[in-house]
Chain A
Amino acid sequence: SQQGEEDPQALSIQEGENATMNCSYKTSINNLQWYRQNSGRGLVHLILIRSNEREKHSGRLRVTLDTSKKSSSLLITASRAADTASYFCAEDSWGKLQFGAGTQVVVTP
């Protein structure tokens, strides 16, 4: 069964704008991971944030984690058309990932 829930379900923005999506989860986690899926490259790992971390950066990506609220957010800055994809958060309970339903992001030129 799917555990995490992403919000919003869909997001449409223009190139150059920032995109923010949120994820809520239910269990105690070892870490939380974000993945991107598009038709061209399949499912690709973006970033992993451990339960004792609060923020992590990777290029134009910024992830935050609030374990007290059981929530995480993914920010994509200065979006590009190539960022068009579905984004999933996944709770890692000691190796087993539980994925949310995803946020579909469309970036228009």
Chain B
Amino acid sequence: GAGVSQSPSNKVTEKGKDVELRCDPISGHTALYWYRQRLGQGLEFLIYFQGNSAPDKSGLPSDRFSAERTGESVSTLTIQRTQQEDSAVYLCASSLEGTGNYEQYFGPGTRLTVT
């Protein structure tokens, strides 16, 4: 079946512009996660959606970052007034449930470059 998809695959933007990244999770997965990965580093947790519960936003680095999810489907991550330090690969993952003990399936990522 279809895996997690993300778009765009690459995004180059000028400093100060807003960007919107999209994630389509695996159908039927109630949990959705966003991570950021800087070059040569591990993944940083950003935000986590589980069903209709309030999202866990504890990993968002600043108020320029926000995310929404429509029901149990598509999610968008928005970065306002982008800065050069926002340059990274943004990865989305989904899992059957978000209560733990379920593996996460990752999308291919969006590589964001802020010039």
Residues of A within 8 A of B (CB): 1-2, 4, 30-31, 33, 35, 42-45, 48, 50, 88, 90, 92-102
Contacts and interface: CB of A to CB of B under 8 A. Distances in A.
Main secondary structure of the interface of A (DSSP, over half): strand
A35 B95 CA distance: 14
Contacts of B104: 33, 45, 97
A27 to B, nearest CB: 13
Closest 9 CB pairs of A and B: A95-B98, A30-B100, A99-B42, A43-B106, A45-B103, A99-B43, A101-B42, A94-B100, A95-B100
Contacts of A35: 106
B77 to A, nearest CB: 16
Contacts, number: 66
B56 interface: yes
A43 B5 CA distance: 13
Contacts of B62: none
Nearest to A50: B101
Interface residues of B, number: 27
Interface string B96-109: 01111111111111
A92 B43 contact: no
A26 B93 CA distance: 23
B48 A48 contact: no
B91 interface: yes
Given A33-B103, A95-B31, A96-B48, A42 B42 contact: no
A100 to B, nearest CB: 5
A72 to B, nearest CB: 15
Most buried by A among B44, B45, B48, B100: B100
B24 to A, nearest CB: 15
Interface in B54-87: 56
